[in-house]
Amino acid sequence: MFADLAIYNGQIVSMDQRHSHHEAMAVKHGRIVGMGAWQDITPFIDKQTQVINLEGRTVLPGFIDAHQHMIYFGTNLLNLDCDCTSIQDIVQAVEERAAFLNSDEWILGWGVDEAKLEEGRLPEASDFTHISNPVYLTRFCLHTAIVNERALNIAGINSQTEAPSGGELLRDTQGNITGVLWEKAMDLVQQAIPPYTLDQMKQAIALADEKYVEEGITSVHEAGMGFHTGSLEEFQAFQELSHDGQLKVRVYGMVLDTFFSELKAMHLTTGFGNEQIKIGAVKMFADGTLSGRTAAVHEEYLDPAGFRGILMYKDEELEEKVLAAHREGYQISIHAIGDRAVEQVIIAYEKALSSYPRTDHRHRIEHCAICNPNLIARMQKLGIIPVPQPGIYYLAGDVYNRVLKPQVLDGFYALASFMEAGLKPAGSSDCPVVPASPFLGMYAAMTRKTRSGEDIVPEQKLSLYEALQMYTNYGAYASFAEHELGSLEVGKFADFVVLPTGFMDFSAEQVKDTKVEMTVIGGKIQYERVRKYAGNLHYG
């Protein structure tokens, strides 16, 4: 049996239980068939084998992003990037897009940040009066939108329109609507935007896929099929791409609880699927976000005083939902950021598990941002997996410093405590909320520094090896895939990344700036920084 691909002269860090290192590896039919020294793999090599000399480079298992939103990220890439330095540039980008569309088609954009704009203000409808297409741009936070007059007309909004509760239609001094919408008022216009077509979903996935392999990501957990477009057609989009050989990463698709009855009616449970796409956990939401101050915390926010965030469900409601999915044998993953929400989720899991004991359920808490030793001990007892996004300290840590009391921040992403308790925290980005780079996540886990250089609970720092475990071993475990993924061992999928020489001795700063040399999924080279090997045969 000769190999399709062989690599040698490298530092192959297997991330297996024994922490083995190898020099060479052989791959056949997408799986690892041999590992060891050069002599150990030569029996697998013949003329047809593509042989790559790694010249000392480091090889690691492909990274697993255990919580991200591929369609949401991809539609962002499909839409206009409004992360500009002036309103003039944004207007120009909209004009250029309009030139390619007929005037009924919507122009959607994202990433507006007035702090970066030289005009020092948000754009308004009046900046786009000459655009006949409807325009809908979102601020980078996604809690504010800017629309033009055409969009307001289509949505039926005029100066008499009242904002829905929980939202705001901003007005000028004369009381005219400016086109800036806050929160629930955004829905008024969003409802008028035609849903994404299957083709657009596929384009979006393909764009995100391309970016992911550049970052060394070989598997993702989609944090809610149906979340971005409101339709399970998302599954179809993934499936068609996969069938046509156009999807690179492996996808563990969590399914929004909204679609639970459909899922249950089909009797398709967690783990159903093939080598590339599987049905994951049932995904629910227990609270909101810290920067929006909607995450449910025990200790009130610094501002507004007395406010402790929002729980999406009453205890009994959440318990009922959890019990329903648990009883049917599903894995469950629940978004819970504040400690009040984390505790509510733990109680729901405790109750479900005591009524219907189940070993190896691997129920998860997505984000699990604010914790304390008591909650961690209860998670350990029940076997609950936290799924944190370390990159968020770096990007939003400074905001958290302003909105949370220091004693609350003490329990923020307690990664070292999670590790000590054996909780197997699975690393993730929540992309596009945080950039997908696992290197940014590992840097943040290793330094716990915010963008401005402040430390957030430095006692919770991880070593590089531990950070890598989060993005390999534990991502696999969180999807019941540790026998196939997350470490390089004979029999497992040949999903790996080639990184620069000496990566394991890199400082945190060097880790952050690491460029992936090559990404291989199922033995297939899916990305190369410098086109060198794909398509060429090198043997001998």
Q: Which is nearer to Zn ion, 221 or 492 (CB)?
A: 221
For Zn ion (CB under 5 A), the number of binding residues is 2
Q: Which stretch binds Zn ion (CB under 5 A): 10-18, 208-216, 347-355, 429-437?
A: 429-437
Q: Which is nearer to Zn ion, 65 or 343 (CB)?
A: 65
Place of tokens 């060394």: 216
Q: Which residues pair with 32 in a beta bridge?
A: 27
CB of 73 to Zn ion, least distance (A): 10
Buried b (16+ CB within 10 A) or exposed e, 66-89: bbbbbbbbbbbbbbbebebeebee
Q: Which is nearer to Zn ion, 430 or 495 (CB)?
A: 430
**Residue 286 found at the interface with Zn ion (CB under 5 A):** no
| Dist. CA 6–CA 40, nearest whole Å | 11
CB of 312 to Zn ion, least distance (A): 14
Q: Which long-range contacts (CB under 8 A, 24 or more apart) does 142-145 make?
A: 142/110, 143/182, 143/183, 143/186, 143/292, 144/112, 144/180, 144/181, 144/182, 144/183, 144/186, 145/180, 145/181, 145/186, 145/189, 145/190
CB of 212 to Zn ion, least distance (A): 15
Interface residue with Zn ion among 65, 209, 430, 517 (CB under 5 A) is 430
Residues 310-329 that bind Zn ion (CB under 5 A): none
Q: Which is nearer to Zn ion, 25 or 385 (CB)?
A: 385
CB of 253 to Zn ion, least distance (A): 14
Buried b (16+ CB within 10 A) or exposed e, 350-373: bbbbeeeeeeebbbbbbbbbbbbe
Of 153, 150, 187, 148, the C-alpha closest to 167 is 187
| Dist. CA 412–CA 474, nearest whole Å | 20
| Residue 519: its H or E element | strand 518-521
CB of 508 to Zn ion, least distance (A): 25
The type of residue at 115 is A
Q: Which stretch binds Zn ion (CB under 5 A): 396-404, 422-430, 437-445, 459-467?
A: 422-430
Contact 252, 219 (CB under 8 A): yes
Q: Which stretch binds Zn ion (CB under 5 A): 57-65, 263-271, 357-365, 427-435?
A: 427-435
Of 527, 529, 525, 526, the C-alpha closest to 52 is 525
Contact 192, 506 (CB under 8 A): no
| Dist. CA 428–CA 87, nearest whole Å | 33
Q: Which stretch binds Zn ion (CB under 5 A): 216-224, 323-331, 409-417, 506-514?
A: 216-224
Q: Which is nearer to Zn ion, 65 or 215 (CB)?
A: 65
Q: Which is nearer to Zn ion, 430 or 517 (CB)?
A: 430
CB of 267 to Zn ion, least distance (A): 27
Q: What is the chain's alpha carbon radius of gyration, rounded to the nearest angstrom? A: 24
Q: Which stretch binds Zn ion (CB under 5 A): 93-101, 188-196, 426-434, 532-540?
A: 426-434
Q: Which stretch binds Zn ion (CB under 5 A): 128-136, 221-229, 281-289, 355-363?
A: 221-229
Q: Which is nearer to Zn ion, 69 or 449 (CB)?
A: 69
Of 242, 213, 238, the C-alpha closest to 226 is 238
CB of 284 to Zn ion, least distance (A): 12
| Dist. CA 77–CA 152, nearest whole Å | 24
CB of 433 to Zn ion, least distance (A): 6
Q: Which is nearer to Zn ion, 1 or 141 (CB)?
A: 141
Q: Which is nearer to Zn ion, 127 or 430 (CB)?
A: 430
Contact characters 175-214, Zn ion, x per CB under 5 A: ----------------------------------------
**Residue 65 found at the interface with Zn ion (CB under 5 A):** no
Beta strands 177-183 and 144-147, pairing class: antiparallel
CB of 497 to Zn ion, least distance (A): 24
Q: Which is nearer to Zn ion, 50 or 429 (CB)?
A: 429
Contact 495, 520 (CB under 8 A): yes
Q: Which is nearer to Zn ion, 223 or 416 (CB)?
A: 223
Structure tokens at 294: 């909607």
Q: Which is nearer to Zn ion, 41 or 433 (CB)?
A: 433
Contact 41, 34 (CB under 8 A): yes
**Residue 223 found at the interface with Zn ion (CB under 5 A):** yes
CB of 430 to Zn ion, least distance (A): 4
CB of 366 to Zn ion, least distance (A): 7
Beta strands 11-13 and 21-22, pairing class: antiparallel
Residues 66-105 that bind Zn ion (CB under 5 A): none
Binding site residues, Zn ion, CB under 5 A: 223, 430
